Amino acid sequence: MEQKDIVVLSFESSCDETACAIVKNGREVLSSVIATQIDIHKRFGGVVPEIASRNHIDAISNVVSEALDKAHLTLDDIDLVSATYGPGLVGALLVGLSFGKSLAWTIKKPFLGVHHIEGHIAANYITHKDLEPPYICLVVSGGHSNLVYVKNYTEFEILGRTRDDAVGEAFDKVSRVIGLEYPGGPKIDKLAKEGHPSYKLPETFFEDSLDFSFSGIKTAVINLVHKEGENINVPDLCASFEKAVTDVLLSNLLKACKMKNTNKVALAGGVSANSYIRATLDQMGKENNLKIYYPELVYCTDNAAMIGAAAYYDYLAGKTSDLDLNAVPYLKLGDKLRK
Ligand code: KG4
Ligand code: ZN
């Protein structure tokens, strides 16, 4: 018997994007609307939590109407409502989560709270209709750096995590010190293309662990900028920074593949948009016979379609959340607070 289609309306508001999407059967995006606050936070050099919350409140009704309009659907067509409940900025999370729970209650449909990182991983299902677990996923974003074994659609094993800064955080801090605007990742990506990795930066590896550390690389860049002053070659510095970070990320990724005896790998999160990381991984893939998956650029950074994709698989596994589900700012991957 054919399975009934499941149409999920999803929210993402964990940081500085207010997003709403409608996704069918976990893989087909009917609409995805993202109201970004980047221009508002730029002048502060990073996201200001209180300002983010207020702007989410202003934007949220509009993004829902737009998502429904673009998909040519009404609320009657929705089978499940979902929203990110953690990790993220608590005030920001609460806006999408409260709106989502209220909407589910109003239209008498089930609600499901989604883990933001599980969402980033699920972004790959939208782009790659053939991708199925198990595989290794390297999740690299502004707030997280995790090496994850995706056992199945709803079970995740963390093989390595950052012990200090997240990769995106290091990109953003380095960019600030060289005078680039927030968010620095895309700007470093662009400038690095004009440079060569001529500066030697420290690369941290741990014995018997696939954990990461990026604060050493970041501090070395900051010290170099202070020491060299105006003589610093910015494109070379960007290329050197990207190379150091990429060496560490991809060498642990390869070790994880060997450990789990798999050649299937996916990237996820804002930093997975980085062109040097992608090119280097492609090369490494050829040398090591890896099958590599990346989300489309628009689904690398925060969006609600990835939350709808993750929600679909949780729902298929029989999960829903109670309407008293609270935001959990420091939610860890693998923590299952919902019933
Ligand atoms: O996934 P995301 O939108 O938000 C979090 O969940 O944190 O990731 C945002 C991060 C920022 O740190 C941004 O600088 C970084 O992703 N980023 C990049 C690139 N595009 C975005 N980093 C390196 N290269 C890029 N092309
Ligand atoms: Zn994110």
pLDDT tens readout for residues 257-305: 999 999 999 999 999 999 999 999 999 999 999 999 999 999 999 999 9
335: pLDDT strictly greater than 80:
no
Check if the beta carbon of residue 17 is closer than 8 Å to that of residue 145.
no
Mean pLDDT confidence for 156-167:
95
Which residues neighbour 8 within 8 Å (Cβ) at sequence distance 6 or greater?
22, 23, 24, 26, 78, 79, 80, 81, 82, 308, 311, 312, 315
**Residue 183: pLDDT band with limits 50, 70, 90:** confident
Report pLDDT for 42: 86
- Would you mind telling me the total number of residues written for the chain in this entry? 339
| Residue 183 Cβ contacting ligand 1 at under 6 Å | yes
User: Residue 303 C-alpha to ligand 2 middle, in angstroms?
Assistant: 8
247: pLDDT strictly greater than 80:
yes
Report pLDDT for 105: 98
Q: Which runs of consecutive H residues, i.e. helices, occur in 179-294?
A: 184-192, 215-228, 234-260, 275-288
| Residue 189 Cβ contacting ligand 1 at under 6 Å | yes
| Residue 140 Cβ contacting ligand 1 at under 6 Å | no
Distance between CA atoms of residues 292 and 40, nearest Å: 35
Report pLDDT for 182: 84
Check if the beta carbon of residue 139 is closer than 8 Å to that of residue 120.
yes
Q: Is 177 exposed, middle or buried, given 0-12, 13-18 or 19+ CB atoms closer than 10 A?
A: middle
Share of the chain above pLDDT 70, in %: 98
Nearest ligand by distance to the CA of 307: 2
Report pLDDT for 44: 85
Greater confidence (335 vs 135) lies with 135
Report pLDDT for 1: 57
Distance between CA atoms of residues 318 and 229, nearest Å: 58
| Residue 86 Cβ contacting ligand 1 at under 6 Å | no
| Residue 184 Cβ contacting ligand 1 at under 6 Å | yes
Q: Which amino acid is located at 213 in the chain? A: S
Report pLDDT for 34: 97
Report pLDDT for 228: 92
Q: Which amino acid is located at 215 in the chain? A: S
Nearest ligand by distance to the CA of 145: 1
**Residue 120: pLDDT band with limits 50, 70, 90:** very high
Report pLDDT for 336: 56
Nearest-CA residue for ligand 1 atom 7 is 142
338: pLDDT strictly greater than 80:
no
Nearest-CA residue for ligand 1 atom 21 is 270
Summarised one tens digit per residue, pLDDT across range 199-229 is: 999 999 999 999 999 999 999 999 999 999 9
User: Residue 269 C-alpha to ligand 2 middle, in angstroms?
Assistant: 6
What is the per-residue burial (b if ≥16 Cβ within 10 Å, else e) of 254-277?
A: bbbbeebebebbbbbbbbbbbebb
The phi, psi pair for 129, rounded to 5°, reads -65, -20
Where is average pLDDT lowest: 5-19, 37-51, 170-184, 245-259? 37-51
171: pLDDT strictly greater than 90:
yes
| Residue 143 Cβ contacting ligand 1 at under 6 Å | yes
Signed CA dihedral, 334, 145, 322, 11: sign only: negative
Alpha-carbon Rg for the chain in angstroms? 20
Query: In the block, which residue shows the tokens 């500066």?
Result: 199
Report pLDDT for 219: 94
DSSP annotation string for 104-154 = HHHHT--EEEEEHHHHHHHHHHHH-TT--SSEEEEEE-SS-EEEEEEEETT
User: Residue 12 C-alpha to ligand 2 middle, in angstroms?
Assistant: 9
State the CB neighbour count (10 A cutoff) for residue 69: 12
Average pLDDT score over the chain: 94
**Residue 104: pLDDT band with limits 50, 70, 90:** very high
User: Residue 238 C-alpha to ligand 2 middle, in angstroms?
Assistant: 23
